[in-house]
Structure formats: C-alpha cells, structure tokens
Amino acid sequence: MSAELLERARALLIRTMTFYRDDPRTSTWLRGRLERLGQPLRIAVSGRVKSGKSTLINALVGTELAPTDAEERTQVTTFFQYGPEPKILVHTPHGTVQNIPVTTVDIGTIRDLQRWRPDEVARLVVESPTPGLRSSTLIETPGVASAAVQETGRSALAQILSEADAVLYLTRYPRQTDLQFLQSVNELQTARSAPINTVVALSRADETGSGGPEALQAAEQLAERYRNDPTLQSFTQHVIPVIGLLGQAAATMTDEELTALGHLARLSQNDLDALLLSADRFVNSTGLESVPNATRQRLLERFGQFGIERALTLLRGGVTEPGQLRAALLEESGLNALHETVHQQFVVRQDALRARSALLAVDMVLRANPRPGVQQLLGEFERLLANAHEWNELRLLSAMDSGQIRFPRPLQAEAKRLLGAFGTAPHARLGRDETTLAVDLADEAAAALSRWREQSVNPLHDRPHRQAVRTILRSCERLIVHQVHNSQPQQAHAQHARTPVAQHDQAHAQHDQAQRERAHTQHTHARHAETQQVRAPAAQPQHAQAQQAQHSRRGAHSR
C-alpha cells in the first residue's frame, strides 16, 4: 500500500512539474526530484564534529570507504552510493562534474577532496560495488556547527537535508546545538505533526559514564531516558546507543587482527590485567614479541580499549571461530540493533519515505513560487497528506519500539505485524503465507479488526494508547478494502486453478462414475427388454386358451 502512496505522490509531482513548465529552473529542479524516486533510498548521516559519522558509515557498509581521522576535517558533503565499478565524481558549485579516474576507492583521495572548501567543491559522489550500498545511499554531511556549515549557512544545510529521504543523527548525548539541528530537520518535514524519518544514535557509547564494561549498560539507560523525553520525542523516532568504532572493527576485522587478539587472549590473567591498565601500557609494554608494539597500536586504533577488552573476554570464554567473534562484537557494539532499526524504519518503508520526499518537493515549490491556479495543486497536496496513513504507522511503530506505547505481549506482536513491522505486503501484515487467497486474507483482516475493536473500548487505555488503537484499526480496514477489491478475480481463479492435481483427479473420478452409471442403466434396460422378449411367446398360447374358454362359457350361457 505504500507503493500506492508513492504513485500518487509521483503523479502530483509530475502535475506540478507540468504546471511550472514555463519556469526552466523550477521544472528542472522538480525533474531531478522525479528521477530520485527511482533511485535507492538516501540516508543522511549527520552529527556534531567528531561524533563518529565516518566510522559509523564504514560500520554500516561493512567496508572502509569513509576516511576516519582523529581530527575531523570534512568540509564537503559526500555521497556514498552503489556503482558497478569504483568511481569518484566531483561536483562544483558551478554545475560541472569532474570524474576522478580510480581503479579502487582510495581513502586518501577521498580524504584530500573532503578537505576542499565548499566554494570549490559542492559535493563528492563516491561509487563502489559494495553490497552494503545496494539498498541505500549514505550521505555524510559536514559536522554540525563546523566551519563549513557556518560558512554555507542554514540554507545550504537545509538543501542537503531536503535531498535525503531519512536522517541518522549522531551525538554523544543531545546538547542544545543538537536539539536546534533536529528542530531544523523537523521543520522541513512534510508531515509536520511528528517525525517519521529521523533516528538518533548515541555514538561512542563506550565512553558513557566512567567507561569500562558497564559503559554500554549506562548508555542504554541514557538512551531509555531520552526516548521518554517529550522534547526529543518531537524530533526523532528512536534513540539507540552504539559503539561505532567497535562496530566498524568487527565488520571489517582481518585475519591478522584475529591472530593478534588470539595471542593476547592466551596470556595469563595477571599479565593481561597489567597490560590493560591503560592505553599507554597496552601499546608500550615490552616482552610481547608475538604481538609487536605497532600491531597493538593498530588494534587500539581500530577496536578501542573497550573493544579489545570485550574481544579478549570472548576469546578467553571459548569463542574461537572468526564468525562467532565477529557476530558477538557486532551485537555488543549496538550495530545490529542500529542495522535493524534502519532497515525497519527506513529501508522497509522506503516507498513511504520517498513519497514524503516527493511531497516535500511539491510543498517547497508551491509555497515558494505561488501563482494563479496553484490552489488546485495545494488542495491535492493537502488531501494526499491527510490520507498518508503509512506515516501514522511509522510513528506508531517508533513509539512501540521506544517503549512509549506498550500493549500486552500477544497484542504488541500482532500490532507491530499489522502495522507492517515485518513486511508491508498484506500477507506479511496478517501473518499468512504469500500464496494465501485474497478472500482468506480479507477474513483474517476482519478477525483482526474485531479483536482491536474490543481494545478501542478498553477503559484502561490512556489517550496515546487509544490513538494507537485507532491507527491499528485503520490499518485493518485498509487491508479489508484492499483484499475485498482483489478477492473476486482471485476467487474465480481459485475455482479454475486451486489444487490442479486434486481437480484433475476429481474430474476423472466424476467421469468414471458417470460412465459406470450410464453402463449400469444401459445394462438394466437391456435385461428388462430381454425378459420381456422371453415372456412374450409363453404368454401368447395362454392368452389364446383363455380367450377360447371365455368364448365357450358365453356359448353355453346363451343355450
């Protein structure tokens, strides 16, 4: 059903482009937005300076593409997107595009280009045949409050964000600057009542509190507090703690690093405790010929002290396979949870988010360039906005994921499924197989509607939960309408094609039965005719004798 919303938004975008066809600049800009609807989802990765944007991009992609430095120098917005072969394109502020010849994606080249001034390079586009970029394009923006953003101003930042379908915002913990940025993002939303495309990641979660093994738990508690913060709730869908450095290291771990960690894990507990007292001691301690100082320095840069401690704990606890270690570290880094959130909130709902982007483009043009006749387009825009139920589903899913809305466990699972958390196709929403007939899906949706109508009159629900139930009821109603619309042709098809083998056998059985009945009838008729023929000759003399006797009696009587 999100696909239907996208098509309606596309149609409105085309009508708007036609309406402004005499304005080359506006129509060209709208044409670019139209072309974007057929491209992968765009996710802007933004945040404060040194919040770990490049590191998290590498972790999400699963390979090192974005340069990471101790001192952030990113001045240029960089698009990381899928391409059949490595390519780097430099877009200038004057509209020209320069292709930098490369055979591999060279981080050093990207680093040098990212340090150019914004008045020299408008953006970089890095293409790579990396599987992690197939479903979405990641956009790294300059740090919030950085020199580049201050120089180009808020309008340039708004332009960057208007080109993204979703925003992943990184911060150690939300400050006033972060809230101002998130507010500016929210002001760009077409759906103004609540955010539908922003997730906040508490990066560097390993540095929360006093650090150490309890850091991630402290970060989760901090995230839970922010999830329930009304101010932050108005700007973002979800808040997730993540250790980007550990996630990147786990996703890109080499055999050499695994070997070095294995040597360290075999040290005695006393030697290991002494080695891990500080970063300086870890790197500069002597007597470890199996793991040279340079190797330990590299491990520290890649994993961080928290990551090294966790990796060694896992190895000493019996985790020996590289795949097991990688999976465990990805889980502890919070990257798996972030991946799942990005997938469910952004990728699965990309049609709804792309529709939002199309409507945002229409809204911006209609309000910035009003002219006679624009009211009809504005009316279509408002009607489409009012009927965009998919966005209400996204908001409710976010509220359920963050714990703001909770139903009893069976209802909670069903609600998320009906809202499309596990797939937006009707059969996925209803927990049925994709071969299930539309008429059966409609029956299942009607049963779900009945269950949730009972919840609508539950006196224990507060106002947010009553609103949540109304959203779920609307989802059920839409499913019923959709399936009833499709049930007639499917029902006719079912009469013709359901279980072909059974139909074939049944047809043969009916044919054989009919033949047997016809044969039996014919046999009965034949036996009856034969009996009549046998009886007829014997009956004739008897009949003659009877007639003669009757004639004799009549003669005697007359005498």
Q: What angle do CA 19, 22, 28 make, to 5 degrees?
A: 85
**Same structural domain for residues 176 and 307?**
no
Q: What is the mean pLDDT of the chain?
A: 81
Q: Does residue 374 sit within a domain?
A: yes
Residue bearing tokens 């994709």: 434
* pLDDT value of residue 145: 64
Range among 111-115, 221-225, 232-236, 270-274 with highest mean pLDDT value: 270-274
- The distance of Cα 177 from the centroid of its chain, to the nearest Å, equals 29
**Same structural domain for residues 133 and 76?**
yes
Q: Does residue 533 sit within a domain?
A: no
Domain boundary at 349, 382, 415, which?
382
For 153-209, how does the pLDDT look when each residue is reduced to its tens digit (9 = 90+)? 455 566 666 788 999 999 988 888 888 888 777 766 554 445 678 899 998 888 887
Q: Does residue 31 sit within a domain?
A: yes
Domain boundary at 304, 333, 362, which?
333
Question: What's the rounded Cα separation, in Å, for the pair 179 and 89?
Answer: 33
* pLDDT value of residue 515: 47
**Same structural domain for residues 342 and 322?**
no
For 32-45, how does the pLDDT look when each residue is reduced to its tens digit (9 = 90+)? 999 999 999 999 99
Residue 242 near residue 56, CB atoms below 8 Å: yes
Task: Assess whether pLDDT exceeds 50 at residue 276.
Answer: yes
* pLDDT value of residue 71: 59
| Strands 41-47 vs 166-171: parallel, antiparallel or unpaired | parallel
Domain boundary at 333, 361, 396, which?
333
Task: Assess whether pLDDT exceeds 90 at residue 246.
Answer: yes
For 51-63, how does the pLDDT look when each residue is reduced to its tens digit (9 = 90+)? 889 999 999 999 8
Q: Which helix (H) or strand (E) holds 349?
A: none
Span 97-106, mean pLDDT?
84
C-alpha pair distances (Å), 461 with each of 412, 454, 467, 469, 475: 14, 12, 9, 9, 19
pTM of the predicted structure, to 2 decimals: 0.77
Task: Assess whether pLDDT exceeds 80 at residue 432.
Answer: yes
> In the sheet where 123-128 sits, what is the strand order?
97-100, 87-91, 123-128, 77-82, 136-140, 41-47, 166-171, 198-202, 238-241
Burial environment of residue 261 by CB neighbours within 10 A (0 to 12, 13 to 18, 19 or more)? buried
* CATH code of residue 134: 3.40.50.300
Task: Assess whether pLDDT exceeds 50 at residue 348.
Answer: yes
- Which residues constitute the domain of residue 460? 406-497
**Same structural domain for residues 71 and 174?**
yes
> Minimal CA–CA distance to 10: which of 359, 324, 248, 348?
359
Residue type, 354: R
Question: What's the rounded Cα separation, in Å, for the pair 191 and 503?
Answer: 52
> Minimal CA–CA distance to 259: which of 307, 292, 220, 226?
292
Name the band, by pLDDT with cuts 50, 70 and 90, for residue 247: very high
Q: What is the DSSP letter of 26?
A: H
Residue 223 near residue 193, CB atoms below 8 Å: no
Question: What's the rounded Cα separation, in Å, for the pair 245 and 329?
Answer: 11
For 199-211, how does the pLDDT look when each residue is reduced to its tens digit (9 = 90+)? 999 988 888 876 6
Question: What's the rounded Cα separation, in Å, for the pair 309 and 213?
Answer: 8
Q: Does residue 140 sit within a domain?
A: yes
* pLDDT value of residue 149: 52
* pLDDT value of residue 284: 93
| Strands 97-100 vs 87-91: parallel, antiparallel or unpaired | antiparallel
**Same structural domain for residues 153 and 238?**
yes
C-alpha pair distances (Å), 456 with each of 64, 219, 463, 474, 475: 50, 36, 11, 12, 14
Task: Assess whether pLDDT exceeds 90 at residue 296.
Answer: yes
**Same structural domain for residues 233 and 259?**
no
Structure tokens, 485: 């619309």
Q: Does residue 45 sit within a domain?
A: yes
* pLDDT value of residue 89: 92
**3-class secondary-structure state, position 45:** strand
Span 1-29, mean pLDDT?
92
Span 87-94, mean pLDDT?
89
> Minimal CA–CA distance to 139: which of 40, 6, 250, 248?
40
Q: Does residue 504 sit within a domain?
A: no
**Same structural domain for residues 291 and 206?**
no
Q: Does residue 400 sit within a domain?
A: no
Q: What is the 3-state secondary structure (H, E, C) of 110-131?
A: HHHHHCCCCCCCCEEEEEECCH
Name the band, by pLDDT with cuts 50, 70 and 90, for residue 544: very low
How many structural domains comprise the chain?
3
**Same structural domain for residues 305 and 438?**
no
Task: Assess whether pLDDT exceeds 70 at residue 244.
Answer: yes
Neighbours of 224 (CB within 10 A): 13
**Same structural domain for residues 191 and 234?**
yes
Name the band, by pLDDT with cuts 50, 70 and 90, for residue 30: very high
Span 87-112, mean pLDDT?
84
**Same structural domain for residues 186 and 39?**
yes
**Same structural domain for residues 268 and 193?**
no
For 304-338, how does the pLDDT look when each residue is reduced to its tens digit (9 = 90+)? 999 999 999 999 998 988 899 999 999 999 999 99
**Same structural domain for residues 361 and 427?**
no
* pLDDT value of residue 158: 64
Range among 345-349, 517-521, 540-544 with highest mean pLDDT value: 345-349
Task: Assess whether pLDDT exceeds 70 at residue 343.
Answer: yes
**556 vs 87, more confident:** 87
For 482-537, how does the pLDDT look when each residue is reduced to its tens digit (9 = 90+)? 877 766 554 434 434 443 334 434 444 454 445 445 544 544 444 444 444 434 44
pLDDT-above-90 percentage for the chain: 45
* pLDDT value of residue 507: 44
* pLDDT value of residue 7: 94
Q: Does residue 137 sit within a domain?
A: yes
Counting Cα atoms < 13 Å in the Cβ hemisphere of 180 gives: 8
